[in-house]
Amino acid sequence: MLDSASVPTYLSELPEVMARLAETAERYKVEWLAPISEPDKYFGPDAANQIMQDVLPRFDEFDGKLVWQVFDSVQRLDLRGYDVAGLAVLGCDWDGVGEMFDTTISRVVDWAAADGVTEIAHVEFGCVNNANTPSAAIANFDRWLGATSGLSSGLIILDSPRSAPNGQSVVGTWLEDWVVGYGRDLGFSPG
Amino acid sequence: MRRGGLLCVVVLAAACGGDSESAEPVQTSTVAPTTSAAPTTTAAPTAAPTPTSTATHSTTTTTQAPDTAPSVPGCTDIKRRAPAFEEGIAEHELWIGRLVGDQVTDQQMLGSGWSVGDGFIIDGVAHIWAMNALDHVLHHATFADGKFTDLGPISVDGHVFQGFIDPDVFRLPDGGIGLAAVNGMRTEGTPRQPGPICLMRSDNGQDFETVHVLIDESGVQDPAVLVGDEWVVAVKVFGEETVRVMVGTPETGFEVTVTGSGGDPDLVVESDGTIRLTVCGEGMLDTYRSPDGRSWEASDPIRSQTCGPASITGSDWMLHLPKPGQGGALPVESEPEEIAATTTSTSPPSIPTQGSNPFSSGNIALRDCLISSIGEEAFNGLAAGRMPVGAEMMAVGICMAQAGAGGSGGMPTAPSGSSCTPETPGGYSRHDRPFMFGIKAFHMYPPGEQSVADESDIKALGMNTVGLVFQIPYDDGGHINYPFSTFGSNFSDLDASLCHIGNLINRVKSAGLSVYLSGEPLYYRMGPGV
């Protein structure tokens, strides 16, 4: 994690990289782009708000959708200028009803509405670690997705790297069954 | 704190203690100065079934402070974060070995994605508490019969969350398991400093409760604790390669008795009752000894190139954190002036310390890689025997791993941006899908790292999208820094990194998938070949 003392330096050098990233993303017709994912985690909410607004002009030539992927900030985040408010709901089987992610979803949905961001999406969803109780995870999934039903325009499932101990993979696990079933409910057929 | 010299004694006023009104006091009437830190012996942990009955999985998992949680300003009132993957330690490797003479031997890697840890023996089994990258939470584990068993994340005051780092564990006077850890970063001050060092207690090693602030001094981290009539606490000064040792009690406060250079301090009581302080030194582990924590003398170093030492109290086992891909602690047989100092968070890539010169060995892949990275003139200097310096060291680490001249070995050849040519975009367009249904697959590299290997695997799930990551590397000063390596990929500069991600996007787009691309900061010196 970036040392807080290093954040200003990093942010001062970031715009140049952002411009190059925008060029590459446009060249290859990327659909969705988060300039920095979860900047509230890396920089804190104030600096995140600042840099996410500062870099916007660098993406003027990018014709895809810009995503503001939120970590878990309680402090108000400024989502103006972005196309998609991204949720990172990784509560797996350990977060409960009315707890962290229920409130995070509600907060981000409210911010998006207030800032004129018309799309909500689950851009990082599922489990970091292997679920101890898949049925509890599935119940959570249903509740979180239900909370954005009719609002969400995307669902990206996390596939934890295998080098990470106890990471939750998708293929070959209970999560694969859930993913395929959920996709079928939405009309997606395995290819 | 150079080897062979004495620590300079600096007695300062106490600067700690916490809020005595709100803190729950530690029992002090039965303090036994030498029983809480068992003497080091040569006996290995005996075989025993794992997990033990005293360690159970935590079942309390919320992140909001409960109404019944103790209120300990500085420890319970700082924002708690949901468990989340922490890339900064994702490639750390936690190793265990025996300390025999001046060497760490009989080594075994416990796991990658594990970082700073500590432990002691309970009922013949080595119990270990260490940070895990997947959730950035301290996990409880056991090590017995060569098997490392993760018992899951600990809870504090009934909740599992990320925030506490740099754990040190020990027996409390009442028999409970004590945990000292840094409570994240303070919210005030510029730059922000590490949070207070908090003391927690557990009966089973899995579920802890906050007791009180142990050290409320700004800018210190990595605590090591010995409990006795007087407690001895060693800490590292944030942002410096400096260690402080303090003596006192939680009730009366602590005074600084010595300061010196080094990092990642570890304290243990030897079989003769002397206290040994072990710190990361210049290419090996420096040690100091004291009868009481107040007066210290340098002693023979541990001639192993590693860092993050943490003795498993009650055994001769030592946890340590060598450079990723190094293959454990390397023996050091001569004075290592040319070997870079190492610390847990800033260790440079491995470089050779003895034997033949690999730069003149005729390894063409190594030669070509180095010339492309540092230039022919600089390479010729290395081949002539000059030691790598500065940025050259990074290039050496990367190239040696790639060329199989040391380092990780066994991994598939990593993408190297230095030879990357941007591909012409295929004939695809930007999709305007009503719903993006996909999987976050990072870089889809190295092979086997994700459960989805390629585009066909993603389509087989019924998906239309892949989430990819473009990492933006930073160095210790916060500068965006190249070359960098991550997840087995090595990039010489921004162009190379963009070229690689662009070509990957081109590949998956050509297969008909949409892309969600996210920029993510990453420490630039992740281990090569991992």
Q: Mutate which of A10, A84, A159 to disrupt the B interface (most B C-beta within 10 Å)?
A: A159
The rounded percent of chain B whose pLDDT value lies above 90 is: 32
pLDDT at position B12 over 50: no
- Closest approach of B22 to chain A, Cα-based (Å): 27
Check the CA dihedral B46-B49-B55-B58 and report its sign.
positive
Write out pLDDT tens, residues B50-68. 332 333 333 333 333 334 5
* pLDDT value at residue B40: 30
Taking contacts as CB-CB distances below 8 angstroms, the residues of chain A near B517 are 25, 30, 32-34
ipTM score for this prediction: 0.98
Residues B350 and B122 sit within 8 Å (Cβ to Cβ): no
Give B178's pLDDT tier (boundaries 50, 70, 90).
Answer: very high
pLDDT at position B341 over 50: no
Reference A183, options B202, B465, B222; nearest CA is B465
Give B417's pLDDT tier (boundaries 50, 70, 90).
Answer: very low
Write out pLDDT tens, residues B355-393. 345 565 556 666 766 776 667 767 776 666 555 544 455
Task: Kindly list the structural domains of chain A, giving each domain's residue range(s) and its CATH number in brackets, ordered by start.
Answer: 4-186 (3.20.20.80)
**Which among B57, B450, B521 is the nearest to A161, CB-wise?**
B450
Q: Identify which has the larger pLDDT, B367 or B177.
A: B177
Write out pLDDT tens, residues A30-89. 999 999 999 999 999 999 999 999 999 999 999 999 999 999 899 999 999 999 999 999
Which of B275-289, B419-433, B495-509 has the highest mean predicted lDDT (pLDDT)? B495-509
Q: Mean pLDDT lowest for which of B28-37, B161-170, B245-254, B497-506?
A: B28-37
The β-bridge partners of B442 are: B468
pLDDT at position B216 over 90: no
Residues B44 and B316 sit within 8 Å (Cβ to Cβ): yes
Residues A66 and A31 sit within 8 Å (Cβ to Cβ): no
* pLDDT value at residue B190: 52
**Which among A95, A152, A159 is the nearest to B439, CB-wise?**
A159
Write out pLDDT tens, residues B300-338. 889 888 999 999 988 889 999 988 877 888 888 654 333
B85 touches chain A (CB under 8 A): yes
Write out pLDDT tens, residues A130-173. 999 999 999 999 999 999 999 999 999 999 988 777 889 999 99
Please give the mean pLDDT across all residues of chain B.
Answer: 74
Beta-carbon pairs below 8 A across chains A and B: 255
Q: Exposed e or buried b for every residue in B123-160, given b needs 16+ CB within 10 A?
A: eebbbbbbbbbbbbbbbbbbbbeeebbbbbbbbbbbbb
Q: Tokens representing B140? A: 């409880």
Question: Count of CB atoms within 10 A of residue A83's CB?
Answer: 17
Question: Count of CB atoms within 10 A of residue A99's CB?
Answer: 18
- Closest approach of B431 to chain A, Cα-based (Å): 7
Reference B167, options B191, B194, B144, B139; nearest CA is B139
Taking contacts as CB-CB distances below 8 angstroms, the residues of chain A near B514 are 31-32
* pLDDT value at residue B343: 35
Taking contacts as CB-CB distances below 8 angstroms, the residues of chain A near B411 are none
Rounded CA-CA distance B489/B24 in Å is 50
Rounded CA-CA distance B227/B248 in Å is 10
A64: DSSP letter: S
Taking contacts as CB-CB distances below 8 angstroms, the residues of chain B near A51 are none
B513 touches chain A (CB under 8 A): no
Write out residues 11-40 of A within 8 Å (CB-CB) of B.
13-14, 17-18, 20-21, 24-25, 27-38
Q: Identify which has the larger pLDDT, B71 or B311.
A: B311
* pLDDT value at residue B390: 43
- Domain extents in chain B: 8-41+90-331, 358-403, 417-523
C-alpha of B151 from chain center: 19
* pLDDT value at residue B191: 55
∠ CA B113-A176-B529, nearest 5°, is 30
Q: Mean pLDDT lowest for which of A97-111, B281-295, B410-424?
A: B410-424
Identify residue B395 by its one-letter amino acid code. A
Query: Would the CB atoms of A5 and B191 count as touching at under 8 Å?
Result: yes
Question: Count of CB atoms within 10 A of residue A76's CB?
Answer: 13
Query: Would the CB atoms of B425 and A90 count as touching at under 8 Å?
Result: no
Does the B8-41+90-331 domain belong in CATH 2.115.10.20? yes
B420 touches chain A (CB under 8 A): no
Q: Tokens representing A69? A: 């992927």
**Which among B435, B441, B515 is the nearest to A30, CB-wise?**
B515
Residue spans of alpha helices (H) in B286-375: 364-374
